[in-house]
Chains A and B, each alone.
Chain A
Amino acid sequence: MARAELMDYDKALELFEPVIGLEVHVELNTTTKMFSPAPNPANSAFHGAEPNTLVTPVCLGLPGSLPVVNGAAVRSSISLGLALGCTIAESSRFARKNYFYPDLAKNYQISQYDEPIAYEGSVEVELANGRVFQVPIERAHMEEDAGKLTHVGGSTGRIQGAEYSLVDYNRAGVPLVEIVTKPIFGAEADAPELAKAYVSTIRDIALSLGISEARMERGNLRCDANVSLRPRGTEPLGTRTETKNVNSFRSIERAVRYEIQRQAAILAKGGTITQETRHWHEDTGTTSPGRPKSDADDYRYFPEPDLLPVEPSRELIEELRAVLPEPPAARRRRLKGEWGFTDLEFQDVVNGGLLVEVTLTVAAGATPAAARKWWTGELTRLANAGQTDAASLATPEQVAELAALVGEGVLTDRLARQVLEGVVAGEGSPREIVEARGLAVVSDDGALVAAIDEALASQPDVLAKIRDGKVQAAGAVIGAVMKAMHGKADAARVRELVLERAQG
């Protein structure tokens, strides 16, 4: 694949105005699927099931089977719609989206078309620089997920070149809500960051509602980013591309930025943008063309005759509205105060998409400062190295446990970082790793004193200097002791003891 030509980002923004639109799919964590009583793999109780074990005749589209709407999924969808500031339709309808694909058991997807359950909303999104955007929501509609294909025999794991493909229908029928924004104008150079911050806000909302596990790396949250450019001073919207397969927050930002630079280079040369879906490649940080989108795409939508319209009562809607959690923007303002973070510290958390993680870590017993330090520090560093999101590396409970171990003096920061590497590698909980790797700080003064006395004895000149009051000379002895203890000692305590023994 030839590498696309990119225009310098600032130059691109000088010549063109970026317009973005975002489609976010949220997998609901209901106990059963959207239209069948099969267990829902997007619910943590059913993670790791063997392929094709979470299925009924409905999921497999067996002849004669019929869908039945999951009431819990409808309630989750209404809650989400309300949290997005949407109007909830008095009557909404399912429709069939017809296309042939082997992961789609019926060869049509039950979705909503012209009558979605929620429409016309707005979400407040705040950027690092303090800019606040109202992102306009077009609609949120319910649909079912497709199954999962695994392509076998090719070198790329993609369908091209594969010898055969395996289908797992566990995911077929998982309840989804697709949230579609209106075109977002005026973000300018912040467009990539706004895209990321918007998805992060959707995640916050879904998590605070408790309707989804909302983990991007698991596919609970998926984003398609539409990007188009229009020359400065012109009115009509440019041709857009839709970038799919953007599976992390950092990818969203990078993908939008990449498309702006790519499209600008083409347009500046007098070229035209092809309306198409593009695939994001995490490893190369580029997009490549997928299926061309054109008028030939005809899904032959028609109202699903197997299902009745969804007509939630006013009472139900008001009941769900009454228990909505605090909106993310308000919650951020509140948390910033409660945690006592500086603007910069708080933005670090927000930009990392780590607000929920820090909140949960504090809830699990850590101090806000410790929670922030581990998430925005070491875990973010590891995430960047591994090209993933920090949230995918550890759970809030694990981080809280780590912070507790440091607080108890069992671990030094240096040892804690080693333990965290173990956590990320899946070796178990921090305490288990401390145990297994034998990483605890040596807090037995007897062992330390023995090592100190030995070091002092072997460096009489240093001992003399310390006794002369040149306390900084103790560093050499402390270093030797730490080395002898293989780093598993608290340096501050060692220093104390060195001074004590030297005087003795």
Chain B
Amino acid sequence: MSDLIRLSAAELGERLASGDVSSVEATQAHLDRIAAVDGAVHAFLHVDGERALETAADIDRRRAAGDRLGALAGVPIAIKDVLVTEGMPSTAGSRILQGWLPPYDATPVRLVREAGMVPLGKTNMDEFAMGSSTEHSAYGPTHNPWDLERIPGGSGGGSAASVASFEAPLALGSDTGGSIRQPAHVTGTVGVKPTYGAVSRYGSIALASSLDQIGPVTRTVLDAALLHDVIAGHDPHDSTSIPEPWPSMADAVRRADVAGLRIGVVKQLDSDGFQAGVRQRFHEALELLERQGAEIVEVSAPHFEYAIAAYYLILPAEASSNLAKFDSVRFGLRVTPDGGGTVEQVMAATREAGFGPEVKRRIILGTYALSAGYYDAYYGSAQKVRTLVQRDFDAAFASVDVLATPTAPTTAFKLGEKLDDPLAMYLNDVATIPANLAGVPGISIPAGLAPEDGLPVGIQFLAPAREDARLYNVGGALEQLLLAEWGGPILDRAPDLSTHELLATEEGAV
């Protein structure tokens, strides 16, 4: 395995800046890695090596010409397939968008390109980001690099697995209820859901508009901060994007200091419902922070227990409307019934063939929740719960600077284990959903391996809206403490996937 692929994005950026290595070399190294292991991991739905190398060569030329370039210029990046990319397939993991070539770039993609980063391709995901395991992708599941029999989390399992398996130094993800943070938790990577409105949603294929947020997927906290600084900022194309400027997240990591920081442990998310090893690593991490001068206090968030119920009304309601545009008239799949049909029949046949079962389940749920006579009881009540969850956060943040929880209840489960039990699947997001309902930012960073199964465990920090820098402060500090404890990055302990080269499987077959 080339050393280039084991560098963090920040390190690679420095090597590129010093002229020690070219972007073409770095990009080729990652393309080689993808060729070697992605047959087994299946993190990517689409790789465009030719265009990536062209982009890399262009950056190399600009650097040689003396252009001033950003810290991540020339660094390859993987992009979750939920973001539209001009001239590059963008399916959101769905059959209904097979073959569609978008005519425009999502704003975060545009910003990444403008920063000189090199898009490698598009990563796998649960169809329309509905799921916690990437098993709901229409193109077959992604495999967890720590154990190919296990799920990489979801919906952004592809982005997390690509970073964890060194196919890309970093990636873009999207988080509607935990789709960045939960995959980070099960793959030993870092994932950040910024404040709602921090990163433009323009060009992100919408799941639930009031919950979706784009964010970084990386191996280090500094890398996440550097990428966060690239993609955050006001976008006139997204009315919900925050107009005010942001402080540098990278600076927050570099100046990380937790002395005097008040960390609240959410009582309701520190219970028997969490796997023993997950809780153990969580508390060990808190002790490390306490030894550095942080103050750990218990806080109560009494309405968090209703968050999942509210989430599974608000999300399907918005999704049922957002997904109505997939009707075969203007783009994507078109299925015509035998012997032709009316436009309604073509729409119905297309949606029947193009959507998977989880998508249909949520469309039906959402359509029902918005129906006349049920709206108040379902959608209306869910919005009230959402307000109560926001009040829980307000009350907690009145006394603490950040909140801490385990990111998810368990380590990576086996592929197929929860596929037939939607409720069990939904419970994966119990700790991550409240942040989306309230619009507050969250980060998940590796906290170690669970003693009972040797699989990665993450710890989540949550901050008040617009205080994303606090996450990078506490996350950066904890990362340094843990690295010292472990003697190196946790991913050093992951299996060497290159031995799986010959075990490359057919898409979807395990």
Contact = CB atoms under 8 A, between A and B. Distances in A.
B259 interface: no
A60 B318 contact: no
A166 to B, nearest CB: 11
Contact of A63 (B84, B237, B375, B379): B84
| Chain A interface residue bracket vs B | 20 to 34
B163 interface: no
Q: Which interface class (under 10, 10 to 19, 20 to 34, 35 or more) fits B? A: 35 or more
Contacts of B320: 98, 300
Contact of B102 (A62, A295, A308): A62
Interface in A291-342: 295, 298, 300-302, 305-308
Contacts of A476: none
B262 to A, nearest CB: 32
A107 interface: yes
Interface string A67-109: 1110000000000000000000000000010101010011110
A305 B209 contact: yes
Contacts of B370: 98, 300-302
Given A98-B370, A106-B324, A66 B343 contact: no
A105 B343 contact: no
A165 B83 contact: no
A98 B371 CA distance: 11
Contacts of A167: 329
B376 to A, nearest CB: 12
A298 B239 contact: no
A328 to B, nearest CB: 35
B107 to A, nearest CB: 9
A100 B321 CA distance: 10
A125 B325 CA distance: 43
Given A102-B327, A107-B327, A302-B379, A66 B371 contact: no
B340 to A, nearest CB: 10
A64 B372 contact: no
A63 B92 contact: yes
Interface in A84-142: 96, 98, 100, 102, 105-108
Given A63-B92, A105-B330, A306-B209, A96 B321 contact: yes
Given A100-B344, A102-B329, A305-B209, A67 B239 contact: yes
A65 B327 CA distance: 16
A61 interface: yes
Interface in B358-395: 367, 370-372, 375, 379
Nearest to A69: B239
Contact of A300 (B202, B344, B371): B371
Contact of B239 (A68, A105, A106, A302): A68
B278 interface: no
B347 A66 contact: no
A57 B371 contact: no
A308 B240 contact: yes
Interface in B272-330: 317-318, 320-321, 324-327, 329-330
Interface string A36-61: 00000000000000000000010011
Nearest to A68: B239
A57 B321 contact: no
A100 B327 contact: yes
Contact of B318 (A61, A64, A305): A305
A62 B204 CA distance: 11
B203 interface: yes
Nearest to B96: A63
B237 A302 contact: no
Contacts of B236: 68
B186 interface: no
A64 B202 contact: yes
Contact of B106 (A64, A165, A298): A64
B90 interface: yes
Contact of B331 (A63, A102, A165, A295): A63
A64 B379 contact: no
A60 B326 CA distance: 12
Given A62-B103, A63-B90, A68-B239, A302 B375 contact: yes
B335 to A, nearest CB: 15
Nearest to A35: B239
A425 to B, nearest CB: 38
Given A57-B104, A68-B236, A102-B327, A298 B372 contact: yes
B293 to A, nearest CB: 41
Given A295-B372, A300-B371, A63 B325 contact: yes
Contacts of A300: 320-321, 367, 370-372, 375
B325 A105 contact: yes
A298 B367 CA distance: 10
Contacts of A108: 321, 324
A100 B345 CA distance: 12
Quick one: which of A65, A165, A295 has the most chain B CB within 10 A? A65
A107 B90 CA distance: 21
Contacts of A107: 324-325, 327
Contacts of B326: 63
A108 B106 CA distance: 22
Question: Which residue, A62, A63, A102, A306, has most C-beta atoms of chain B within 10 A?
Answer: A63
A299 to B, nearest CB: 9
Nearest to A60: B330
B371 A65 contact: no
B317 to A, nearest CB: 6
Contact of B205 (A64, A69, A307): A64
Nearest to B103: A57
B238 interface: yes
B42 interface: no
B201 A66 contact: yes
A62 B327 CA distance: 11
Interface in B84-110: 84, 90, 92, 97, 100, 102-104, 106
Given A67-B239, A68-B236, A306-B209, A61 B325 contact: yes
A283 to B, nearest CB: 27
A303 B325 CA distance: 18
A96 B370 CA distance: 11
Contacts of B79: none
A167 B206 CA distance: 24
B236 to A, nearest CB: 7
A62 B205 CA distance: 9
Contacts of A69: 239
B343 A102 contact: yes
B210 interface: yes
A6 B484 CA distance: 92
Given A62-B103, A66-B238, A106-B324, A165 B209 contact: no
A61 B206 contact: no
A165 B317 CA distance: 31
Interface in A244-270: none
B331 A62 contact: yes
B201 to A, nearest CB: 6
Contacts of A305: 208-210, 240, 318
B279 to A, nearest CB: 35
A395 to B, nearest CB: 37
Contacts of B238: 66, 68
Contact of B206 (A64, A68, A301): A64
Pick from B100, B318, B329, B367 the residue with the most CB of A within 10 Å: B329
A68 B237 contact: yes
Given A300-B367, A306-B240, A64 B321 contact: no
5 contacts: A62-B331, A64-B83, A65-B202, A66-B237, A98-B321
Interface of A: 57, 60-69, 96, 98, 100, 102, 105-108, 165, 167, 295, 298, 300-302, 305-308
Given A67-B239, A302-B370, 14 more contacts: A63-B92, A63-B102, A63-B206, A64-B84, A64-B104, A64-B206, A69-B239, A107-B327, A108-B324, A165-B343, A300-B367, A305-B209, A305-B210, A308-B239
The 9 closest A-B pairs by CB, nearest first: A107-B324, A300-B370, A305-B209, A64-B203, A305-B210, A63-B205, A64-B84, A61-B325, A298-B372
